[in-house]
């Protein structure tokens, strides 16, 4: 399906952990569409070595380690990316999320605040850190496109999504606020994509994720959107075809967010009760 819609564009892609990752699919498609980019992930994620396979597939893309909660890592990443790519970038994907409390099994009514701080730092403030670093270093070309990934629990209650719901609300707010400032300065557009539940390492870490996934699939008229389909949407948002879209939270969820009822949900519940 590649049409070269990112030909000549340069970017940075955060968060490709393994071939299930949404960022992994975005990197493959961005490469197919003619983009060149730097790949980045947390130093600890690099140790698994999977990202090297992706880099090799993508014309030997350079990999730079960056813990998104560290200012110095972010500055180093942006500086080095511009050196490697020979100038400013046109697109950035922030595909990063992590909840310490979820990982350690703490419920929403029993959160550890040190961990909560870390969750916000990694999952939300990192987006501000990325944007502010780029803004100060003048690292994004005019009309560039920056995307982060979010989930509808930022706006409606999904109890087991816990503190990540609050982290995603903050992420979406930063998108609007920074979208204004960067739009004024360089016409840089900043959006979040609110994706269906997706079977990835981060996704399946949420308690009851399988039920979550099946429920959304049954409610959504189009079913759940896959990681690959999410990547297609990201590519269109990086392209010149979406130049006037900014400060938005864009649902990519097969219609889940606006569906009140579907008989398929009842069928699913009956099936689950019979199991």
Ligand X SMILES: NC(=O)c1ccc[n+]([C@@H]2O[C@H](COP(=O)([O-])OP(=O)(O)OC[C@H]3O[C@@H](n4cnc5c(N)ncnc54)[C@H](O)[C@@H]3O)[C@@H](O)[C@H]2O)c1
The minimum distance between CB 100 and ligand X, in angstroms, equals 10
**Residue 241: which region, alpha, beta or left (left: phi > 0; alpha: psi -120 to 50)?**
alpha
Residue 201 binding ligand X, by CB under 6 A: yes
Say if residues 37 and 10 touch (Cβ distance below 8 Å): yes
Q: Which is closer to ligand X, CB of 59 or CB of 201?
A: 201
CA distance 13 to 199: 20
Q: Build a one-symbol-per-residue string for 91-130: x at contacts with ligand X by CB under 6 A, - elsewhere.
A: ----xxxx-----------------------x--------
Q: Would you give the end-to-end CA distance of the chain in angstroms?
A: 40
36-41/140-150 β-pairing: unpaired
Question: 87: how many CB neighbours lie within 10 A of its CB?
Answer: 11
Q: Which is closer to ligand X, CB of 98 or CB of 111?
A: 98
Residue 151 binding ligand X, by CB under 6 A: yes
Task: Enumerate residues 56-95 that contact ligand X by CB under 6 A.
Answer: 67-69, 95
The minimum distance between CB 195 and ligand X, in angstroms, equals 4
Which residues make beta-bridge pairs with 147? 93, 191
Q: Which is closer to ligand X, CB of 97 or CB of 186?
A: 97
79-to-94, 130, 193, 231 alpha-carbon distances in Å: 17, 12, 26, 26
Structure tokens at 64: 């730079």
Q: What are the start-end ranges of the E strands in the chain?
A: 10-14, 36-41, 63-65, 89-94, 140-150, 189-195, 249-252
Structure tokens at 182: 């960067």
Residue 202 binding ligand X, by CB under 6 A: yes
**Is the four-CA dihedral 16, 19, 20, 23 of positive or negative sign?**
positive
Q: Which is closer to ligand X, CB of 45 or CB of 131?
A: 45
CA distance 196 to 201: 14
Say if residues 159 and 166 touch (Cβ distance below 8 Å): no
Q: Which is closer to ligand X, CB of 200 or CB of 246?
A: 200
The minimum distance between CB 79 and ligand X, in angstroms, equals 17
Q: Which is closer to ligand X, CB of 45 or CB of 89?
A: 45
Q: Build a one-symbol-per-residue string for 160-199: x at contacts with ligand X by CB under 6 A, - elsewhere.
A: -----------------------------------x-xx-
Q: Which is closer to ligand X, CB of 67 or CB of 172?
A: 67
Q: Build a one-symbol-per-residue string for 28-57: x at contacts with ligand X by CB under 6 A, - elsewhere.
A: -------------xx--x------------
The minimum distance between CB 98 and ligand X, in angstroms, equals 4
Number of residues that bind ligand X (CB under 6 A): 26
Which residues in this chain contact ligand X in the complex, by CB under 6 A?
A: 15, 17, 21-23, 41-42, 45, 67-69, 95-98, 122, 149-151, 195, 197-198, 200-203
């Amino acid at each position: 399906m590649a049409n070269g819609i990112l030909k000549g564009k340069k970017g940075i892609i955060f968060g490709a952990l393994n071939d299930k990752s949404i960022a992994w699919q975005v990197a493959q498609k961005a490469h197919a569409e003619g983009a060149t980019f730097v790949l980045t992930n947390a130093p600890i994620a690099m140790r698994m070595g999977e990202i090297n396979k992706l880099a090799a597939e993508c014309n030997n893309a350079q990999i730079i380690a960056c813990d998104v909660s560290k200012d110095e890592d972010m500055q180093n990443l942006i500086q080095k990316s511009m050196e490697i790519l020979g100038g400013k970038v046109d697109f950035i994907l922030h595909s990063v999320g992590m909840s310490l409390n979820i990982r350690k099994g703490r419920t929403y009514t029993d959160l550890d605040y040190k961990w909560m701080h870390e969750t916000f730092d990694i999952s939300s403030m990192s987006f501000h850190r990325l944007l502010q670093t780029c803004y100060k270093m003048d690292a994004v070309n005019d009309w560039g496109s920056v995307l982060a990934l979010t989930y509808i629990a930022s706006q409606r209650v999904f109890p087991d999504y816990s503190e990540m719901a609050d982290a995603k609300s903050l992420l979406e707010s930063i998108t609007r606020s920074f979208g204004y400032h960067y739009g004024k300065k360089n016409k840089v557009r900043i959006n979040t994509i609110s994706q269906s539940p997706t079977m990835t390492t981060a996704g399946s870490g949420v308690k009851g994720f399988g039920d979550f996934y099946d429920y959304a699939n049954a409610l959504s008229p189009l079913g759940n959107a896959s990681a690959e389909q999410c990547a297609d949407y990201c590519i269109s948002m990086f392209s010149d075809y979406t130049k006037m879209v900014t400060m938005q939270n864009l649902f990519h969820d097969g219609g889940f967010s606006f569906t009140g009822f579907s008989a398929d949900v009842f069928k699913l519940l009956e099936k689950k009760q019979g199991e």
